[in-house]
Amino acid sequence: MTDAALPTFIAESRELLREMEAALLECEQGESGAEAVNSIFRAAHTIKGSSGLFGLDGIVAFTHVVESVLDRVRANSLQMDRTLAAILLECRDHIEHLVDAVADGKPDDVQLATKGESLLQKLSARAGGPATTHATATASASASASAPVAPAAGWQITVQFHTEVLRNGMDPLSFIRYLSTLGEIVELTLLTERLPAAEEFDAEACYLGFEIELASSETQQRIEGAFEFVRDDCTLQVRPKAPVASESVAEKREASDAKETKAAKNSDRSLRVDGDKLDALIDLIGELVTAGATTTITARKAGLSELNESTLRLARLVEEVRDQALKLRMVQIGPTFSRFQRIVRDVAREIGKEIRLEIGGAETELDKTLIESITDPLTHLVRNAIDHGIETAEVRRNRGKNVEGVVRLDAYHDSGSVVIEVADDGGGLKRERIIAKAMERGLITDGSSLTDGEAFALIFEPGFSTAEQVTNLSGRGVGMDVVKRNVNALRGTVELDSKEGQGTTVRIRLPLTLAIIDGFLVGVGGSSFVIPLELVEECVELGDEHRAADGDQRYINLRGQVLPFVRLREMFSIRSSASRRESIVVIRSGGKRIGIVVDDLLGEMQAVIKPLSRLFSRIRGIGGSTILGTGQLALILDVPSLLDLCLNTRQVQVAPRRALTD
């Protein structure tokens, strides 16, 4: 196996370890169903097998012991309880450290090896088997030392590697080496019938074949699985030489192997794609969208009906390609939420609280780039809820609450956005303490006129903290302002609801994607703006009675409901006279509605989002830019920021230019 395949091994191992962690946490919470145990076993077995292909004997030896213990759990000869699950979690962490050491180019770390032996002692003591601490011994002896197995059976294996196997990056000897982890190689014979004459010898071709006698109690399917990565590059025959295991054990193993084979077949329909390649594809499609818009405009100017029809068909195809490409970057948020199970478990134990994590909306999809960017803010919010939100068991008991606190992560779609909530059933925020702290720091002079939402929003100010003491987790006033800043950088918003004594909910609202959107193009003077189409409800004409320009904000009666509106001309200081006929675009976001007054309604379009440079990063109300088919620049409106500017009564009287920045 070439070094080029090592990054793939590392990435897949880390993914398997995440699955292993999630299943072990279920087991620790008393939800150890057969499928969870099988999932843990499959992860350990796959990592062990892949490690053997690379000659990573340290990982193979350690994981083999873990796999043997899990095999006993699967056979119901060992019970999976909270204690065993906790030890296996430590073993899972050690495997992750071993993989990280390989990634760092230090596969033979002595300290890791010492820690691994200590963990195996601990695992063997709990599993009821003798402690096997020496790494070289565990690879071959752990199965017999830690679990009663059927008498060893003999297998006759004939494998002839095809000539292209070396060019495909495979090392035939690594597969033979891996067989030694499944049993004892009794005899190995090299087959040289296909070896050509010296003058015809190709140094890059493989002519090797092997006849192997293997003593092993594994099933035929497990033996054949050792050659899984080269099944298309070899001719393989596996024949039994003696009876394999007892009938009951064999039936159990074959049933488990059948499940693994079915899962493997399903996984064959998936393809791992490098993220950079996917990003490059999205960028190219973005340019294709812009070029398609230019072609459509040119065709209209030419006035040729056949050309117009062709460009319309092309535009539809480009739109379909765009949608499919964006779906490639859409991933479910469930795996990200599941990672917090471990954080909640470890942090709660560290500070002596009883807390469980509940997850909702795991199937909600959003852009992979957004998920990567939102992980750190979510981590801070979860840790903050654990440290400051949830009370101690004694306090909760005195308040008549369940001693076990709950932190809940939820996600759902709303008005073309993704909403992520971090909620807890703790003590909630204390309005008076927040206001007192804000006045002490000079953020406000009087808190009596603030709504609860305005008061709670003060905790997002830099350095703000009401913690009575600093802990290892929080209390230094660093974090909540970073959360808001990071979310705003993703064109999102943060809201906070809290009831003292009942709990707190932090609500993050994000766009579905950061790449391409369907937009509604409007014009003000000589400037063009794009509004995300999914937020547009309707367009109405602005009546003459509302056309006076003596303020930043107005209200109209829209079918019996009050609708505040804002003029883009005044908000962005556009130096041009209003047109004779102005329109209001009614938009809704996060349950709030606002009207935007514009001169021209220019229709729907696809907008390729270009981020603003750092020079303009603090501008409120603008989320990016795009290039129109005419080559003109258009600004993409940040609707949540516009809503804040328009509906926040404290900012209504701010001068137009000042309203642009924080």
187-198 residue pLDDT tens? 888 888 888 888
Model confidence, pTM: 0.64
Tokens of 20: 């292993």
- Distance from C-alpha of 40 to C-alpha of 52, rounded to nearest angstrom: 19
Lowest mean pLDDT among 55-59, 151-155, 637-641, 645-649: 645-649
The whole-number pLDDT of residue 129 equals 57
The whole-number pLDDT of residue 617 equals 63
Considering Cα of 267, then 273, then 274, then 278, what sign does the dihedral take? negative
Cα dihedral 360→361→363→366 (10° resolution): -130
Q: How far is CA 636 from the centre of its chain?
A: 27
Helix axes 34-53, 6-28, angle to 10 degrees: 160
The whole-number pLDDT of residue 136 equals 38
The answer, yes or no, to whether residue 150 has pLDDT greater than 50, is no
- Amino acid code (one letter) for 320: E
Q: Which of the two residues, 152 and 376, has the higher pLDDT score?
A: 376
437-483 tens-digit pLDDT:
888 888 888 777 788 888 888 888 877 766 555 455 554 344 688 88
* 529 closest CA partner among 621, 453, 466: 621
Q: What Cα–Cα distance (Å) separates residue 446 from each residue in 62, 429, 443, 456, 528?
A: 63, 19, 9, 14, 41
pLDDT class for 361, splitting at 50, 70, 90? very high
The whole-number pLDDT of residue 580 equals 81
DSSP 229-250: GGGGGEEEEEEESS--S-HHHH
Cα dihedral 92→94→95→98 (10° resolution): 160
As a whole-number percent, the residues of the chain with pLDDT over 90 amount to 17
The whole-number pLDDT of residue 425 equals 94
470-524 tens-digit pLDDT:
455 554 344 688 888 888 878 788 889 999 889 999 999 888 776 778 889 999 9
The whole-number pLDDT of residue 516 equals 77
The answer, yes or no, to whether residue 171 has pLDDT greater than 50, is yes
- Give long-range contacts, CB 8 A cutoff, 24+ apart: 480-485: 480/380, 480/384, 482/377, 482/380, 483/377, 483/380, 483/381, 484/460
The answer, yes or no, to whether residue 527 has pLDDT greater than 50, is yes
83-124 tens-digit pLDDT:
899 999 999 999 999 999 988 888 777 888 888 888 888 888
What average pLDDT does this structure show over 139-160? 56
Residues 6+ apart with CB under 8 A from 504: 385, 389, 423, 424, 426, 428, 429, 496, 497, 498
What average pLDDT does this structure show over 47-54? 80
User: In the beta sheet, which residues pair with residue 322?
Assistant: none
Q: How far is CA 524 from the centre of its chain?
A: 40
Q: What Cα–Cα distance (Å) separates residue 179 from each residue in 13, 95, 207, 225, 362?
A: 20, 21, 20, 10, 39
pLDDT class for 283, splitting at 50, 70, 90? confident
HEC-encoded secondary structure of 562-586:
EEEEEEHHHHCCCCCCCCCCCEEEE
- Distance from C-alpha of 565 to C-alpha of 332, rounded to nearest angstrom: 36
CA angle centred on 625, ends 619 and 630, rounded to 5°: 145
Q: Please check whether residue 172 is in contact with residue 205, taking contact to mean a CB–CB distance below 8 angstroms.
A: no
What average pLDDT does this structure show over 40-46? 87
Q: Please check whether residue 155 is in contact with residue 238, taking contact to mean a CB–CB distance below 8 angstroms.
A: yes
Q: What is the largest CA-CA distance in the chain?
A: 98
The whole-number pLDDT of residue 131 equals 41
What average pLDDT does this structure show over 146-163? 69
pLDDT class for 648, splitting at 50, 70, 90? low
- Distance from C-alpha of 225 to C-alpha of 227, rounded to nearest angstrom: 5
What average pLDDT does this structure show over 586-590? 84
The two beta strands, 561-567 and 592-598, are: parallel
The answer, yes or no, to whether residue 653 has pLDDT greater than 50, is no
What average pLDDT does this structure show over 265-273? 60
Tokens of 285: 């499609």
Length of the chain: 662
- Distance from C-alpha of 401 to C-alpha of 391, rounded to nearest angstrom: 10
405-427 tens-digit pLDDT:
999 999 998 866 789 999 999 99
* Mean pLDDT of the chain, nearest integer: 80
